[in-house]
Amino acid sequence: MAHHYVSARGAAQLPKYKYSGNDRSLLYNYFLSPLAQRIVDTFFPPWLAPNTITTGGLALVATSHVILAYYAPTLDGIAPPAAYFFSAAALFWYQVLDVTDGKQARKTGNSSPLGLLFDHGCDAVNVVFSACTMTSTMLMGPSIWSLGLLLAPSCVFLFATWEEYYTGSLDLGLVNGPNEGLAIMYVIYAITGVLGPAIWTQPCVLYPALPNNAVFVIATALGAAGQCLVNVFNVSQAVTPAKFVAALGRLSPFVGFIAASLAYGLYSPSDVLHSHPRLLLWTIGLISCKVFILSSSLCSTSWCE
């Protein structure tokens, strides 16, 4: 029995793929990119595979996730300060190594569509790791805020990939999630290591009716919504009106999945959000990862050739 994953036409076109993208972040252009280039030029030998670098960075984030899961299995436990400092360092080095792997690929001539897809996959898994670690750090517990902190960046990731599919380019703005977003997160980890996680449950100075962690999630969700609207606008400018309507239709399954995830988390008969919060977040997160990989590998083809 034959199993077709890529058509003959697709296989012929695959080697011709070239990544197109632009990152206008000041943090990226003036700090992360020069640092990553220095690391590649100074420390990485030509035989080191780029995806090994990505995997190493993800392993650091996974380790910090496991540590916080041990101390806060229900997302509301307090860990030692060292755990938060390690989480900050792990996410920072993941960010640096995520930039480094692309430079290593260009240095060694190993850039490929499969390598890019692997990198996107690691970024997708990092969304789940980081969301769980952040909810633990900010003592959100099994609540709608924890769900929101996972779903907001998931939407940003999916909409960015969706835009790339229709425009042919991944363009990141002056302030974006992969750079400033991660920087905010590891700064929060470091602050928590110094002041303790209880500061995130205190009333917000600007809006005392809500604690700091809830305000953070609301701000994250609003920022995510704004970025998703930018993605939609960019696609509307890049394609015909008819194709734009079809493109919006392709988002409907993911939007439905987000709504179903919220509904199940809040109203499941077994109250899974409170009984198994990490399991729920991981289930939703891993399904999102599969959607990200699928959307990153879409191509127009016919299996009837």
Whether residue 211 contacts residue 200, with contact meaning beta carbons closer than 8 Å, is answered with: yes
**Position 11 in a domain:** no
The per-residue pLDDT for 115 is 83
Q: What is the pLDDT of residues 106-162, one digit of tens each?
A: 898 888 878 888 888 899 999 999 999 999 999 999 999 999 999 999 999 999 989
Q: How many folded domains does the chain comprise? A: 1
Token representation of residue 25: 């972040």
The per-residue pLDDT for 13 is 67
Do the bridges between strand 21-23 and strand 170-172 make them parallel or antiparallel, or are there none, so unpaired?
parallel
CATH number, domain with residue 213? 1.20.120.1760
In angstroms, the CA 236 to CA 215 distance is 32
In angstroms, the CA 75 to CA 94 distance is 22
**Position 23 in a domain:** yes
CA 158 from centre of chain: 9
**Position 265 in a domain:** yes
**Position 14 in a domain:** no
Token representation of residue 73: 């299995």
Burial of 108 (0-12, 13-18, 19+ CB in 10 A): middle
Mark the ranges of the chain whose per-residue pLDDT is less than 70. Answer: 1-7, 10-11, 13-14, 16-17, 296-305
Angle 182-195/81-108 helices, nearest 10 degrees? Answer: 150
The per-residue pLDDT for 86 is 98
**Known catalytic residue at 120:** yes
Q: Which residues pair with 211 in a beta bridge?
A: 203
- Which residue segment(s) compose the domain that 278 sits in? 19-296
**Position 4 in a domain:** no
In angstroms, the CA 180 to CA 132 distance is 19
**Position 303 in a domain:** no
**Position 289 in a domain:** yes
Catalytic residue among 3, 65, 120, 276: 120
The per-residue pLDDT for 304 is 37
**Position 55 in a domain:** yes
Locus of tokens 């700064």: 187
Which of these, 96, 92, 103, 122, lies nearest to 50 by C-alpha position? 103
Which of these, 106, 126, 129, 107, lies nearest to 116 by C-alpha position? 106
